[in-house]
Chains A and B, each alone.
Chain A
Amino acid sequence: MSLNATYDVIVAGAGHNGLTAAAYLARAGRKVLVVEKNDWIGGAAVSRSLHPGWTYSNCSYVCSLLRREIVRDLDLPKYGLQVIPYEGGATFTRDGDYFAYYSDHHALHREMARHSRRDADAYQRYAQAVMRQCRFIRPFLLRDAPDPASLRPRDLGEMAYLVKKAHGLGPRELGETLRFWTMSIGDFLDEHFENDLIKAHLAGSGIIGTGLGVYSPGTAYVLLHHYMGDIDGGIGAWGFARGGMGAISAAIGADFEAHGGTILKGAGVEKFLTKDGRVTGVALEDGKVFKAPVVASNMDVKRTFLTHVDAGDLPPEFTRAVERFKIRGSSAKLNIALDRMPSFPAAPAHASFLRGDLHVSQSLSELERAYDDWKAGRVSAKPYIDMLIPSQIDPTMAPTGAHMMTVFVQYAPYDLAQGSTRSGVNWDDAARRQLADCVLDQMSVACPDIRERIVHMEVRCPAEIEREVGLTEGNIFQGELTFDQLFFNRPVPGWSQYDSPIKGLYLCGSSAHPGGGVMGAPGANAARAILRADGVRMKGYAA
């Protein structure tokens, strides 16, 4: 490998989207270099061994959104990718009961009826409504978002597709769709259910990763964003990647390398080089320079354009729009090595739902109060937690008999308030200990012996996720999933098709349409846009 060689395309950042874009481009015959600041690849889809014997999916932790078209196109199973669906989940109460979610329809109906007969009957209507929305949105994920202000044939074509799809719903269903997209998940659940616990259990997906509360309009869409994936055709199903989420990045990376691509680790980008409004390559932090006529940035839109590009190279209104883009850190993560399975006194022995996502939020108002804490710059007093023990299904994650637990925490502000200041700097060791304590207290509602089970624990606050992964504020979606930042508004109006005011510089991360999650769609779509600029039609799902 000649280091100062020139490439057709350089991808900055080996997150799963960067690698996806790179793999598609390499398959199209492009000479592609991926540069990655860390000494490992994967971005936020990583498996890391921080304590001997245990493997953590230490950022993203479950998989569903990864587009099956991409899995097929890139032959990911060939490189060892195996996603194992998990079934069910539960929310534990403070008085020793639980609400369990089963994927088996009858079991779920019985369990719901145990809490509310009315809700058990309402669930079918609820599930149908959500499923209809999933069906509507899924085809848009791997298409470009049209620019409504443009009269270019392709934009008009995409717009016509949108209108056709919308029209096809019929007026009643179209109304329902508009309604669903603009509602809060809290209001949506209140319309269907009466039981606080059931509502709290279902609401979680509406807030994960966002700076919104369960009663903020638009959170029903966020729920959809978490439901629109599938595993082996099971829409809405979630699963574990065997070997941790890093297995996804590893498989994509392997396909990329198998098609002649080069990955350079420990190579952080200092600057995107430009000349006369065109990108010419990248300069690395260590001074190395690589040339390419096309560069795709897997970094978020703020980091890409506000940190690594000269402001003088961008139109001021574009810079303003990027400055206005909202990326808010709202979540934290605990990764725990356990000496054995913690006890869940409320659960029957060998309950299947323990292999799913476990929670302890009791009501929508408890979740909303958690959001109020976040707005004020505090870690939620009673945070929403999404905990899973993947080692029950995937034995590669922990030594025999021992287990690994992943705990997603919402809300934790990036700009933590301390005294009169609000800043990421306030995340010192004491603050992180306090966060961990608060989360462990919440967890002990479900598993009281959790503290005794801990062999090793990694506490990740938003500031740290930002530092290590490079996600601004530690926001898992590279930007809020609100209407003003979705579809043709993502990342900024007029630039929703992966390109930028600097010719040849593209975005391929989840700041771009259709947004975050381990989906691969922004990366694949960006690759398609890059090839299209060369007059080449991308092979694979787009064909």
Chain B
Amino acid sequence: MTRFDAIVIGAGVNGLVAAALLARRGKKVCLIEAARHAGGMAGLRPGEGPALAHLVHNLSPAVRRDLGLGRDWPFALTPLATVALAEDGRHVVVDGPNAKLADGTAHPFAAAHAALTERLTRYGALLRNMAETAPPGGGMSGIAMMRQGLRFARTGLSLRAMGKPEMRRFLQVLLSNAYDLILDEMSDGPLAGLWTADAVRGAALGPRSPGTVFSLIYRMGHGGIVSRPEGGMEAVIAALEEAGRKAGCTLRTDTRVARILTEGDRVTGVATEAGEILSAQVVLSSAAPLTTARLTGLDHFDIEATRRLRNLRARGTVAKVNLKLARAPALPGVDLASARMVFAPSAEYVETAFNPSKYGEMSEAPVIEAVMPDPGAASPWLSLLVQYAPADLDGGWTAAARDRLAQIATRTLARALPDLPGLVTSAEVMTPDQIGAATGGPGGHWHQAELTFDQMLTLRPGNGMGHYAFGPSGLYLCGAATHPGGDVMGLSGRNAALRALEDRA
């Protein structure tokens, strides 16, 4: 029997962060991962090509600070401009608050775009304050409560500091839908399409669904800058792994947890499928809540809690498609090497793409985000996120269905990049069901649980479970299903580790 202070289950971004943070605070930590490599969903690769997450926009500086990684991440981050592809060739190049047409001429809604960017980034900064702490309440210690009270007071003050009209506007749009928010400011087209596509990326929602303004703000919580990690997602994961290793954390890959062990109402460790017992007073699980509950034994959870866990909504809608190209495609006026391309020619298009997913069908004309992670290569990969491809496809994700998805994706992108189909030499497809199967993430959903208001803050993952502590004493959830959520951010893992430390203090 091997003894640790803490065991962390699952070496995804949040598991890595939680383990490294605990180790840095002097705990003897073992991080257990079922797969052969750390990385979880972010690092998941369909084959030879780029990993599922190909860009970062929410990597948390709070995480970097707490892991002692210094002022900068130990890998290069290249900020990318975004190209909103248009079928008529009038692509829109968006660089932060600046939007112009690819031919260099002014975009008619450039001013509206700049104002929206500024406003939503400001809102994002406000909400980030909330993301970097546990949700309110939850029986924390006096000092922690005070610290949290200060944080909320600060949020309240920054809200007030915006001035009355802005404060009112914030409280109005927060629960609103992205479709109306954007189309109130500009007429429909590729720029509006881009905004709404960003609002629903990864979600089982369309831009007309109330709450999508929040998901848009969530994406802009760290300034709204989209960056490509040089060296791919592997570099991000390696950096987090290294931070853990330096702090003395043990990483055991290829190890499956069979059970989370308890004695009475206390966690005592985990048993692996190989029959090994690892003991610890504290176990953090980045596995999905229901999976974690099952590993622990459902008898540790009352019927109400179990029902809530079963009802947690997580229905992945995004598939990964990697296209191997003979050479990089050309787009006049655009440097594709430092651009993220988005095919969403209008907000209406995005909503229409969403419709079939509600009935278990894939979009015939999907929303696509495309980047070239390694633009220098002779025959580069074009890495695509294709939405909507629902996890629960009618008839299942057969090989034929996956092939069709790759074809649809290529055909759709060709509407703006006519030479693309001729350049594709091979394709790899990874659908939400495969993402779910490979990572244990329910429905292959990026956030482990849909990021909607009824599954947020103290309600995430379920009412009464919003404070990381989960079931028997000493057990914590630290995955994306907890506050604030996923997106290669690391805050769920960080907050959970801090909570566990505080409870033991």
Mask of B131-174 contacts with A, CB within 8 angstroms, 1/0: 00000010000000000000000000000100011011101110
Contacting pair A365 B459 (CB below 8 A): no
Contacting pair B164 A494 (CB below 8 A): yes
Select which of A176, A179, A217 is within 8 A of B211 by beta carbon: A217
Q: Contacts A148-B171, A484-B172, A484-B173 known; A317 to B210 CB distance under 8 Å?
A: no
Q: Contacts A171-B137, A375-B351, A493-B172 known; A191 to B311 CB distance under 8 Å?
A: yes
Select which of A150, A171, A182, A494 is within 8 A of B452 by beta carbon: A182
A89 located at the interface, meaning its Cβ lies under 8 Å from any Cβ of chain B in the complex: no
B75 located at the interface, meaning its Cβ lies under 8 Å from any Cβ of chain A in the complex: no
- List residues of chain A with CB within 8 A of the CB of B458: 171, 175
Select which of B160, B164, B171, B454 is within 8 A of A489 by beta carbon: B171
Select which of B167, B208, B307 is within 8 A of A149 by beta carbon: B167
Q: Contacts A179-B459, A182-B452, A482-B210 known; A369 to B359 CB distance under 8 Å?
A: yes
- List residues of chain A with CB within 8 A of the CB of B313: 187
Chain A nearest CB, measured from B332 CB (Å): 29
Q: Contacts A149-B167, A493-B168 known; A175 to B463 CB distance under 8 Å?
A: yes
A164 located at the interface, meaning its Cβ lies under 8 Å from any Cβ of chain B in the complex: no
A186 to B, closest residue via Cβ: B358
Contacting pair A317 B453 (CB below 8 A): no
Contacting pair A179 B173 (CB below 8 A): no
Chain B nearest CB, measured from A366 CB (Å): 10
A218 located at the interface, meaning its Cβ lies under 8 Å from any Cβ of chain B in the complex: yes
Contacting A at CB under 8 A, from B185-226, are 205, 208-211
A191 to B, closest residue via Cβ: B311
B163 to A, closest residue via Cβ: A149
Chain B nearest CB, measured from A311 CB (Å): 18
Contacting pair B171 A493 (CB below 8 A): yes
- List residues of chain A with CB within 8 A of the CB of B173: 484
Contacting pair B167 A148 (CB below 8 A): yes
Select which of A176, A218, A368, A375 is within 8 A of B210 by beta carbon: A218
Contacting A at CB under 8 A, from B446-467, are 452-454, 458-459, 463-464, 466
- List residues of chain B with CB within 8 A of the CB of A484: 172-173, 175-176, 210
- List residues of chain A with CB within 8 A of the CB of B351: 375
Contacting pair B164 A365 (CB below 8 A): no
Chain A nearest CB, measured from B305 CB (Å): 11
Contacting pair A182 B453 (CB below 8 A): yes
B136 to A, closest residue via Cβ: A171
Mask of B331-358 contacts with A, CB within 8 angstroms, 1/0: 0000000000000000000011001001
A326 located at the interface, meaning its Cβ lies under 8 Å from any Cβ of chain B in the complex: yes
B364 located at the interface, meaning its Cβ lies under 8 Å from any Cβ of chain A in the complex: no
A216 located at the interface, meaning its Cβ lies under 8 Å from any Cβ of chain B in the complex: yes
A179 to B, closest residue via Cβ: B454
Contacting pair A149 B164 (CB below 8 A): yes
A346 located at the interface, meaning its Cβ lies under 8 Å from any Cβ of chain B in the complex: no
A178 located at the interface, meaning its Cβ lies under 8 Å from any Cβ of chain B in the complex: yes
- List residues of chain B with CB within 8 A of the CB of A489: 171-172
B355 to A, closest residue via Cβ: A372
- List residues of chain A with CB within 8 A of the CB of B167: 148-149
B212 to A, closest residue via Cβ: A217
A483 located at the interface, meaning its Cβ lies under 8 Å from any Cβ of chain B in the complex: yes
| Number of inter-chain CB pairs below 8 Å | 97
B137 to A, closest residue via Cβ: A171
- List residues of chain B with CB within 8 A of the CB of A275: none
Select which of B210, B307, B311, B459 is within 8 A of A216 by beta carbon: B210
A488 located at the interface, meaning its Cβ lies under 8 Å from any Cβ of chain B in the complex: yes
A183 located at the interface, meaning its Cβ lies under 8 Å from any Cβ of chain B in the complex: yes
- List residues of chain B with CB within 8 A of the CB of A180: 454
Contacting pair A365 B359 (CB below 8 A): yes
Contacting pair A216 B209 (CB below 8 A): yes
- List residues of chain B with CB within 8 A of the CB of A172: 463-464
Contacting A at CB under 8 A, from B220-269, are none
Contacting pair A324 B184 (CB below 8 A): yes
Chain B nearest CB, measured from A477 CB (Å): 15
- List residues of chain B with CB within 8 A of the CB of A175: 458-459, 463-464, 466
A272 located at the interface, meaning its Cβ lies under 8 Å from any Cβ of chain B in the complex: no
- List residues of chain B with CB within 8 A of the CB of A148: 167-168, 171
Contacting pair A187 B175 (CB below 8 A): no
Chain A nearest CB, measured from B168 CB (Å): 3
A324 to B, closest residue via Cβ: B184
A414 located at the interface, meaning its Cβ lies under 8 Å from any Cβ of chain B in the complex: no
Mask of A449-460 contacts with B, CB within 8 angstroms, 1/0: 000000000000
B374 located at the interface, meaning its Cβ lies under 8 Å from any Cβ of chain A in the complex: no
Mask of B100-128 contacts with A, CB within 8 angstroms, 1/0: 00000000000000000000000000000
Contacting pair B359 A176 (CB below 8 A): no
B180 located at the interface, meaning its Cβ lies under 8 Å from any Cβ of chain A in the complex: yes
Size of B's binding interface in residues, CB under 8 A: 36
Contacting pair B358 A215 (CB below 8 A): yes
A484 to B173, CA, bound (A): 6
A216 to B207, CA, bound (A): 10
Contacting pair B358 A365 (CB below 8 A): yes
Chain A nearest CB, measured from B218 CB (Å): 15
Q: Contacts A215-B358, A372-B355, A482-B176 known; A179 to B463 CB distance under 8 Å?
A: yes
Mask of A363-388 contacts with B, CB within 8 angstroms, 1/0: 00100110010011000000000000
A483 to B173, CA, bound (A): 9
Mask of A299-324 contacts with B, CB within 8 angstroms, 1/0: 00000000000000000010000011
- List residues of chain A with CB within 8 A of the CB of B454: 178-180, 182-183, 187, 217
Contacting pair A483 B175 (CB below 8 A): yes
- List residues of chain B with CB within 8 A of the CB of A190: 311
Chain A nearest CB, measured from B382 CB (Å): 31
Mask of B353-378 contacts with A, CB within 8 angstroms, 1/0: 00100110000000000000000000
B169 to A, closest residue via Cβ: A493
Chain B nearest CB, measured from A407 CB (Å): 27
Select which of B165, B176, B180 is within 8 A of A494 by beta carbon: B165
Which of A187, A190, A368 has the most chain B CB within a 10 Å cutoff?
A187
Select which of B175, B180, B184 is within 8 A of A182 by beta carbon: B175
Contacting B at CB under 8 A, from A180-219, are 180, 182-183, 187, 190-191, 212, 215-218
Chain A nearest CB, measured from B498 CB (Å): 21
- List residues of chain B with CB within 8 A of the CB of A326: 180
A484 to B311, CA, bound (A): 26
A459 to B351, CA, bound (A): 30
Q: Contacts A175-B464, A187-B313 known; A216 to B175 CB distance under 8 Å?
A: no
A339 to B210, CA, bound (A): 45
Which of B172, B351, B352, B452 has the most chain A CB within a 10 Å cutoff?
B172
Chain A nearest CB, measured from B483 CB (Å): 13
- List residues of chain A with CB within 8 A of the CB of B180: 324, 326
A334 to B180, CA, bound (A): 30
Contacting pair B175 A149 (CB below 8 A): no
Q: Contacts A172-B464, A216-B210, A484-B173 known; A368 to B358 CB distance under 8 Å?
A: yes
Residues of B within 8 A of A (CB): 137, 160, 164-165, 167-169, 171-173, 175-177, 180, 184, 205, 208-211, 307, 311, 313, 351-352, 355, 358-359, 452-454, 458-459, 463-464, 466
Residues of A within 8 A of B (CB): 147-150, 171-172, 175-176, 178-180, 182-183, 187, 190-191, 212, 215-218, 317, 323-324, 326, 365, 368-369, 372, 375-376, 482-484, 488-489, 493-494
Given contacts A375-B355, A489-B171, 9 further A-B contacts (CB under 8 A): A183-B452, A191-B311, A368-B358, A369-B359, A372-B355, A375-B208, A482-B210, A488-B171, A493-B172
Q: 10 closest pairs, A vs B, by CB? A: A493-B168, A182-B453, A483-B175, A175-B463, A484-B176, A149-B164, A179-B454, A218-B210, A183-B454, A191-B311
A-B residue pairs in contact (CB < 8 Å), sample of 30: A147-B168, A148-B171, A149-B164, A149-B167, A171-B458, A175-B463, A179-B454, A182-B452, A183-B454, A190-B311, A212-B210, A215-B358, A216-B208, A216-B209, A216-B210, A217-B453, A217-B454, A218-B175, A218-B211, A324-B180, A368-B359, A375-B351, A376-B352, A484-B172, A484-B210, A493-B165, A493-B169, A494-B164, A494-B165, A494-B168
